[in-house]
Structure 1
């Protein structure tokens, strides 16, 4: 039943103009309704007043026309048990027993409730669209010194664009010239502007505040950050949470049961109870039908999740669907990658220790040559420390050994650069296995030649991120390919509950499997937070995969269920908090609707509640549930 419409009880999704247009017929129907009450004659006052019908029937058709036609269409398609069907038989029954004003009231209040519901849904959508109004409309394309204004879709990778002060950055790219402050709040939720200088990256949707920038485009618009955010939020409802699926299944059985119960109320008491009149019990059955309409649930639950996704996006947390919000709310262990996730991922050489008579400059040059083709942060820091042009013609047979390091021939000599595992694998004698910090060991033609120590700073909010998760009762762990000594130091500084070190990429998946098996016994969920290409398999395997979206690799971001645009680990606790709030509000709505409905069903069955009260109960519950769902947007 719930599947027969998308937004609103009868399947409407109205824009503001259309909503304004729908107030007019409701106002006309309301005026006719008030006029009809003047002519209304109760059943025992005969003859029936023609004036009553002449006024109230048009009011009924104006206010209920859409419900009647939708019920008819659904009936032809074989979809009998929906709220339109309930409203139709309840009101036609009311007309049959000469309760014409109540039939009009049912339709009228239902329409007024619908208008408010659609207004609430529209407001939620507008607040998210306002958040996403950062979609750039034009780009200043620079070709041979001349600048032309084009659509961002028309700009290719490698083209140069100019972003003037006050303009939105239209595409992702690298800054070639200029210095400026940029407002990143639309993408990251951060209020403090970032300083951008040549060499730094900018993302579509950022607002250039102070200086002109010349940017080389690195991604087409369809793959830019803002395009992905738009797509994620707009399509967040496509992956439904278990709670939404439950309500759809529930409605499929609930409505036929209510119809059968109403039939029983209408038919059985007059047969079984002495003095019970058919008209009285038919009226009670009609009240039951109106009360039982599950509009509040059908609208407010998807709206609650939609609000949760939108509220998270405002904070720079992109959740790719309501199913992942539900999973986040159940996370009891968060497993972090180290480099680029808990640490800055910007390594700096702090020490060069030589062996076998080499000078520090010679060792650093050799390391820079071997690492010349690697994109690993350690390799980049060694090349930066060397600081000179590298002659790549001397380098042959370059080979990356996953999780260990690099082998290459430099001027005819076989050089190894990597971690302690690489030395043991290649059986190279060395006197120190444990060195404080991240280390690149070097060996030439099978002989140990020294090591380079590289430091990686913790992110500013890393310790607070772990503390915030602990306050939420969430356990924390770290998986890293780094050595035991570095991992132990970081785990102690951050207060992590546990860690595993010296892991190859495939070992990370195995380690996560252990956590998942432990979590299954308690029916809890595991989240993994990472940023690198080698994290993609682990992100995919976790119950909730979270990627760092600022510096993170495309593979990690594509695979993840949740993307954190600021690269701030503290956002993980925030995401869990928003998810828990969303889930709490959704269940509040379910319980509120059920309790009120059951109460009024009982009152209707014993004849205490009439049709008017039934409509107020139905519309009132729907509006309360929708207002409650709107609170999620303020996350």
Structure 2
């Protein structure tokens, strides 16, 4: 269940809400995404209604003005996001009036002290009444350590000890800082969301001779749609009429146009660049590629990084510790040294101003959210910020060969028939591979385009070996050398660095088909970039022959390889490598055939499966396309994100600690403390946005 918390602007309060909801006895899972203002809840069977009521009570107690809206299952965050209002203009006017009155108060200070105090108090009430009211209301509900309470105590304390001007300045500077911070967060969030603005808003449904514009959600499988030049493909479909080129950059991050003709697949979210297309709907909007991508991006924050989890725990203890320190500083030094209470109370008040951890609580999740947005812009779909964190620690990457390091564009280069029966060999091979989508099967079907009238039954895949069937009651085998040997047939071995398929009918060896693949254009450069980014070992696991694997490994200067592996062999070899690795281990491969290894890896990256359900399901990170350069780009995003997150933590805490120390020794005033709070938060938010500057070329 997803709940939209309309009006939630306090990052620290969001953390409190999440912690309390997680502690509810009937909660199975809870995650609050402060950036999207969404609360994801999973409850025990039959307990959701009660859990929602308890969660709403928690929200209303901590943030009474925040809305609690339960969203439909197929919600769209863009349709429910914050409503625009004119409150910002009122806030600006309020701060300007307060600042003007404060200046007048300062001017009258040595001329008419009474008028100065009265005007100063009016200035304070104008800018601070909402904060004071919220603090009082929260105290009555048992919420003491929130920023409204702390800022109210700090500013009122300053006024009561005679520092009226500073008390007003604290409230004014805090309000200005909060306004600028909210503005920065809002603009940053919108910028990040704009990176994944790929959602189609309508589709042209063809009914007989009429065409009408409809919501993509109403389109059903089998419907005919028309896509005009400049329009987005609303749902995954297949071209039935026309030809054109597509801009798939919003999905893959690549600007190279893709030409499509009758029978070709259209991926939702792509933009039709030229001709008019008609297409048959293959998937509903909910199941289409663009919906899966958007859902993944929206839900990515539910898998939090270790850095984010640390901040959540840290924020829980930071404020109470600083408040206790403030109380100790206010009382203990005067009692021990006999110094004036006023000076030490003033120092304690600066501690209260600094005691809110908003800078860290806000900027760290925003940094990871930006990383996920940048990845999406480049066609890298990341399922959670924890995978961003983990990828930054990877020192070993294992690759599959076909379609990962190589193009996976196989071509038949030679057919050897034992009795000059080359055409029969390719016919049998085509019939066996008729319903397969494997790249090798496609190469055979592309090579021999004629119809095959052979009747082969019981066609079955033999994992790691090839394929078998029955022709005229005789067993037919097509695959590697091992397949034939295990069935008591000795093939005539072909020496080739390509892939060789051997064919046997009954117990008779018929001949072989040689198929070659080539290394991707960007593989060499991408592997070099990975080494420059700190990856120590680049390895390959493949089911292909030793000779082929060795040739590829030598050309790419890999640190090691294993060939001739069955799926289970891949798993065993991967586990062995993972157990011996110093850091984290990533696997890059095919989203379908390598699913077991992808799930075992610290970071499973699938590529070459453009829009594949299996790829998105089985991997932690999906590369929408076949470009190897996306792997080092993802690592660069991960390392930069981790660096910026740590920078924000160190910078925020460092400034706060320095101001605390300066306050104790008498060199920091409350205005400096306000900067250490909202000023640092603003700078941390701006620093987080540097993730968005990451470019593809390293």
Matches within 5 A, 1:530-609: 530-548=589-607, 550-551=609-610, 553-609=612-668
| 1:321 paired residue among 378, 381, 384 | 384
Deviation per CA, 1:436-477: give whole Å up to 9, x if none.
311221111122211111122322212222121122231211
**Higher RCO structure, 1 or 2 (CA under 8 Å, sep 6+):** 1
Residues in 1 aligned to 2:685 and 2:186: alpha-carbon distance in whole angstroms: 11
Normalising by structure 1, what TM-score?
0.92
Kept after mapping to 1: 8 A contact 2:464/2:565: yes
Aligned to 2:429: 367
What is the deviation of 1:78? Answer: 4.5
Larger deviation: 175-184 or 283-292? 175-184
Q: Does 1:4 align with 2:16?
A: yes
Q: Distance in 2 between matches of 1:510 and 1:553?
A: 26
| Partner Cα distance (1:425, 1:320) in 2 | 42
Report the alpha carbon displacement of residue 273 of structure 1 after superposing the two structures with TM: 0.4
347 and 282 in structure 1: CA distance in 2 versus 1, 3 angstrom threshold: same
Residue 443 (structure 1) aligns with: 504
Residue among 394, 417, 428 paired with 1:354: 417
Partner of 2:434, secondary structure, is helix
Other structure's SS at 2:318 match: helix
- Give the Cα–Cα distance (whole angstroms) in 2 for the partners of residues 30 and 37 of structure 1: 11
The 1:32/1:458 distance shift into structure 2, 3 A limit, reads: same
For the Cα contact (< 8 Å) 2:539–2:560, is it kept in 1?
yes
In the other structure, the counterpart of 2:569 is 507
Q: Distance in 2 between matches of 1:221 and 1:99?
A: 62
Aligned partner of residue 235 in structure 1, secondary structure: helix
2:478 is equivalent to residue 414 of structure 1: no
- Quick one: distance in 1 between partners of 2:245 and 2:652? 49
What SS does structure 2 have at the residue aligned with 1:581? helix
For residues 65 and 427 of structure 1, the distance between their equivalents in structure 2, rounded to whole angstroms, comes to 90
- Give 2:105's match in structure 1, choosing from 12, 25, 36: 36
Quick check: 226-235 or 165-174, which moved more? 226-235
Inter-partner Cα distance in structure 2 for 1:240 and 1:359: 60
Q: Does 1:424 align with 2:485?
A: yes
CA distance in structure 2 between the aligned counterparts of 1:552 and 1:436, rounded to whole angstroms: 31
Distance 1:192 1:433, change over 3 A: closer
- Unmatched 5+ stretches in structure 2: 1-11, 18-33, 38-61, 67-80
Count, aligned residues: 624
**1:271 and 2:335 correspond:** yes
Query: What does the per-residue CA deviation read over 1:322-378, in whole Å, with 9 as the maximum and x for residues that have no partner?
Result: 2111111111112111222222223221111112x2510011112222222333222
Alpha-carbon contact 2:132-2:148 (below 8 Å) kept: yes
User: Which residue of structure 1 lines up, in the alignment, with residue 29 of structure 2?
Assistant: none
Q: CA deviation at 1:126?
A: 1.7
The 3-state SS of whatever aligns with 1:222 is coil
Structure 1, unmatched stretches of 5+, are none
- Once the two structures are overlaid, the 10-residue window that deviates more, 107-116 or 374-383, is 374-383
1:181-580 matches, cutoff 5 A: 181-274=245-338, 276-355=339-418, 357=419, 359-391=421-453, 394-432=455-493, 435-474=496-535, 475-519=537-581, 522=582, 524-548=583-607, 550-551=609-610, 553-580=612-639
**Aligned to 1:223, what secondary structure does the other structure show?**
coil
1:324 to 1:40, Cα distance in 2 relative to 1, 3 A: farther
Q: TM-score, normalised by structure 2?
A: 0.84
Q: Deviations over 1:201-238 (max 9, x none)?
A: 22222111111122222222122222223223333322
Q: Go from structure 1 to structure 2 and tell me whether the alpha carbon gap of 1:398 and 1:148 turns closer, same or farther (over 3 Å shift).
A: same
Cα distance in 1 between the residues matched to 2:615 and 2:628: 15
Q: Name the CA distance, whole Å, in 1 between partners of 2:554 and 2:448.
A: 32
How far, CA to CA, are the matches of 1:359 and 1:286 in structure 2?
Answer: 94
C-alpha contact 2:245 2:259 (8 A) present in aligned 1: yes
Deviations 1:386-405 (A, max 9, x none): 2122346x222222222212
Q: What are the superposed Cα offsets for residues 556-595 of structure 1, whole Å, 9 maximum, x if unpaired? A: 2222222212321111001101111111111111111122
Q: 1:163 aligns with which of 197, 209, 227?
A: 227
CA distance in 1 between partners of 2:429 and 2:89 (Å): 70
Distance 2:329 2:307 in 1: 31
Once structures 1 and 2 are overlaid, which stretch shifts more, 11-20 or 325-334?
Answer: 11-20
In the alignment, is the contact (CA less than 8 A) between 1:549 and 1:557 conserved in 2? no
CA–CA distance in structure 1, aligned partners of residues 129 and 604 of structure 2: 48
CA contact (8 A) 2:289 2:611 kept: no
**Which residue number corresponds to residue 616 of structure 1?**
675
Residue aligning to 2:93: 24
1:158-188 Cα shifts (integer Å, max 9, x gaps) = 3222211121121222223322222222222
Q: What SS does structure 1 have at the residue aligned with 2:197?
A: coil
Q: Superposition RMSD on alpha carbons, in Å?
A: 2.6
Match of 2:243 among 173, 179, 204: 179
Deviations 1:124-171 (A, max 9, x none): 222233333332111112233532221111112232222111211212
Q: How far does residue 424 in structure 1 lie from its aligned partner after superposition? A: 2.6
Tell me if structure 1 keeps the 8 A contact 2:101–2:123: yes
Tell me whether 1:122 sits opposite 2:186 in the alignment: yes
- The alpha-carbon deviation at position 412 of structure 1 amounts to 1.9
- Mapped contact 1:247–1:297 kept (Cα < 8 A): yes
Note if contact 2:609-2:615 (Cα within 8 Å) is conserved in structure 1.
no
Counterpart CA distance in 2 for 1:156 and 1:294 is: 49
